[in-house]
């Protein structure tokens, strides 16, 4: 796919069909992540792929509880039985890195860059993705992390969902680049 079309056509997808995502598609998305630049070329990530719908629902339910505690103003919205966190997506991917006090920030930056590669690759394959910022709060719940496969000594840097979108993705308006200074 032409790069500009890919960059501008990708959207965060919050409604998915029940169609399964193939192993080949998931592997292609993971591989795209590994081509992202990393500080000192450390390639620090490890990926966790969750296709177990019950486990994804568990992630949503645990996240809902945390969001309700941390953001009382949003609590009412999350009382719904609907999956308003992972949107019933068929795949949840966690980009994880080893815990590292000194290089934690670098690990996060590397993971975010990998995520964008993965979002674009998924889009090229006709799949949708959405960054799961709320799910990141589960970092404070070691018991939940253990149950969803995050190994001891690792932390979850970027969680995101993936699946076949129910509706077509497409370009949206964006603000013009805000150039604060252009010094020649
Ligand atoms: C750090 C980060 C956290 C996000 N967390 C969530 C989230 O928890 N739930 C959600 O539905 N979308 C989440 N998003 C998606 C944004 O809402 C979305 O990227 C933004 O509205 C722009 O839309 P677009 O991705 O379709 O261009 C997150 C995006 C980023 C970058």
pLDDT at position 169 is: 83
Say how far apart CA 29 and CA 121 lie, in whole Å: 6
> What pLDDT, in 10s, does the model give residues 140-178?
999 999 999 999 999 999 999 999 999 988 878 999 999
- Domain CATH code at residue 29: 3.40.109.10
Does a structural domain hold residue 43? yes
- Pick out the chain residues at pLDDT < 70: none
CA angle 13, 8, 91 (to 5 degrees): 25
In this prediction, residue 55 carries a pLDDT of 98
Residue 130 lies in a domain: yes
Residue 81 lies in a domain: yes
Nearest CA to ligand 1 atom 14: 131
134, part of any domain? yes
The ligand 1 atom nearest the CA atom of 134: 8
The answer to the question of residue 3 being in a domain is no
Residue 173 belongs to a domain: no
Output the pLDDT for position 162.
Answer: 98
Distance CA 137, CA 21 (A): 26
Structural domain tally of the chain?
A: 1
Contact residues of ligand 1, CB 6 A cut-off: 11-12, 14, 130-134
Q: How far is the CA of 132 from the centre of ligand 1 (A)?
A: 7
Residue 87 in any domain: the answer is: yes
Range of the domain at 65: 15-163
In a domain, 175, yes or no: no
């Amino acid at each position: 796919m032409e790069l500009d079309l890919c960059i501008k056509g990708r959207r965060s997808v919050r409604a998915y069909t029940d169609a399964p995502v193939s192993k080949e598609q998931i592997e292609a998305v993971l591989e795209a992540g590994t081509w992202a630049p990393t500080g000192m070329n450390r390639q620090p990530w490890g990926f966790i792929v969750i296709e177990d719908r019950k486990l994804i629902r568990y992630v949503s339910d645990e996240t809902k509880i945390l969001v309700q505690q941390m953001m009382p103003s949003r609590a009412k919205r999350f009382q719904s039985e609907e999956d308003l966190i992972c949107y019933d997506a068929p795949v949840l991917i966690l980009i994880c890195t080893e815990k590292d006090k000194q290089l934690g920030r670098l690990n996060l930056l590397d993971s975010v860059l990998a995520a964008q590669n993965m979002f674009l690759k998924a889009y090229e394959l006709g799949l949708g993705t959405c960054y799961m910022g709320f799910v990141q709060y589960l970092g404070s719940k070691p018991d939940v992390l253990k149950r969803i496969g995050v190994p001891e000594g690792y932390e979850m840097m970027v969680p995101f969902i993936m699946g076949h979108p129910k509706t077509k993705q497409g370009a949206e308006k964006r603000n013009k680049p805000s150039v604060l200074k252009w010094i020649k």
